[in-house]
């Protein structure tokens, strides 16, 4: 396994040289680290479907709308590396911000329709940051396939539509949400839940699945349970929710 930590643009060029020497299909899993079983399943799928597997680990500052959230985002490099070598990937790209943003984020990708809804309505600039960094990574990695989880359903849809709108040749592969046995969707943020919050957290999935209740009723149930609810909404044949337990923001979605 080769680990590349480009600090500057020149290091990224080194990566591009390396990439141009690879023949056979490349599968790419972009992450922000703090890897868990959900990431493992994305990587295993990439492993099954491609000759080479590239994983990026980059806590992307431009997609955080709150300074505090960025500061508290879990960083677990040693255990991440252990998981990656267990699964058996080929390249880890762990760029530093100046190498990915030589323009200082003067250029960005904005989607004006769907990104204004759901999470986008509550996190100004979030999807600009996501789409911009994903575009940069897709341009660098030049993967045949890139793997995204359905837990971040809105992100997945926006990335898929961006690749079509901007003629990016990478195929975006949607992968099902991975859950704990009690239903909680796996997320790097779960690590920050206290034991009592962790006990409450699966109720988000539980109430979202109660299709006999309206979104308003689901919101009430979640508030009663102790969540601070950002939204519960239905669109595109799915029900989506975002809710806070203390300082931890959880999202989930189910088919309806
Ligand atoms: O889903 C994530 O972890 C991030 O939003 C992504 C796609 C790696 C972009 O920073």
CATH of residue 90's domain is 3.40.50.620
Same domain? 92 vs 127: yes
126 classed as catalytic = no
Same domain? 118 vs 155: yes
- Compute the distance between CA of residue 33 and CA of residue 253 in angstroms, rounded to an integer: 22
Distance 141 CA to ligand 1 centre (A): 15
Domain carrying residue 219: 193-249
Same domain? 170 vs 203: no
**Ligand 1 contact via 130 beta carbon (within 6 Å):** yes
Instruction: Tell me the DSSP string of 114-176.
Output: GGGSHHHHHSTTHHHHHHHHHHHHHHHH--SEEEEEGGGHHHHHHHHHHHHHTT--PEEEEEP
**Ligand 1 contact via 187 beta carbon (within 6 Å):** no
What's the token pair of residue 237? 């044949």
- Compute the distance between CA of residue 56 and CA of residue 30 in angstroms, rounded to an integer: 5
Q: What pTM was estimated for this model as a whole?
A: 0.95
- For the CA of 30, the closest atom of ligand 1 is 8
Same domain? 168 vs 208: no
Compute the average pLDDT of residues 40-49. 97
Q: Residue 53 falls within a domain, yes or no?
A: yes
| 115-160 residue pLDDT tens | 999 999 999 999 999 999 999 999 999 999 999 999 999 999 999 9
Query: Which candidate in 39, 122, 206, 216 is catalytic?
Result: 39
- For the CA of 60, the closest atom of ligand 1 is 10
Structural domain total, the chain: 2
Q: Is the pLDDT of residue 21 over 80?
A: yes
Distance 63 CA to ligand 1 centre (A): 9
Report which protein residue has its CA nearest ligand 1's atom 8.
Answer: 31
**Ligand 1 contact via 32 beta carbon (within 6 Å):** yes
- Compute the distance between CA of residue 28 and CA of residue 154 in angstroms, rounded to an integer: 19
Q: Is the pLDDT of residue 180 over 70?
A: yes
Last residue of a domain, one of 124, 140, 175: 175
Q: Residue 255 falls within a domain, yes or no?
A: no
Report which protein residue has its CA nearest ligand 1's atom 3.
Answer: 31
Which of 148, 157, 122 minimizes the C-alpha distance to 238?
157
φ, ψ dihedrals at 213, nearest 5°? -100, 150
What does the pLDDT read at residue 33? Answer: 97
What does the pLDDT read at residue 2? Answer: 73
Q: Residue 132 falls within a domain, yes or no?
A: yes
């Amino acid at each position: 396994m080769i680990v590349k930590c480009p600090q500057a643009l020149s290091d990224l060029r080194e990566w591009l040289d390396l990439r141009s020497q690879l023949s056979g299909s490349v599968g790419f899993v972009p992450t922000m680290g703090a890897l868990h079983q959900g990431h493992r399943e994305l990587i295993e799928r990439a492993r099954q479907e491609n000759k080479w597997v590239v994983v990026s680990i980059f806590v992307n500052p431009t997609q955080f709308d709150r300074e505090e959230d960025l500061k508290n985002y879990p960083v677990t490099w040693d255990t991440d590396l252990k998981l990656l070598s267990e699964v058996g990937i080929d390249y880890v790209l762990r760029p530093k911000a100046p190498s990915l943003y030589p323009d200082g984020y003067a250029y960005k990708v904005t989607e004006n329709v769907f990104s204004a809804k759901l999470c986008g309505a509550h996190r100004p600039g979030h999807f600009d940051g996501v789409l911009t960094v994903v575009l940069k990574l897709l341009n660098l990695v030049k993967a045949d396939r890139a793997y995204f989880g359905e837990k971040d359903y809105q992100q997945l849809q926006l990335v898929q539509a961006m690749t079509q709108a901007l003629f990016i040749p990478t195929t975006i592969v949607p992968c099902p949400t991975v859950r704990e046995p009690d239903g909680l969707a796996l997320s790097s943020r779960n690590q920050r839940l206290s034991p009592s919050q962790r006990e409450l957290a699966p109720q988000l999935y539980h109430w979202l699945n109660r299709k006999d209740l309206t979104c308003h009723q689901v919101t009430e149930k979640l508030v009663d349970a102790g969540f601070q609810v950002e939204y519960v909404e239905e669109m595109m044949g799915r029900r989506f929710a975002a809710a806070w337990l203390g300082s931890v923001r959880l999202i989930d979605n189910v088919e309806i």
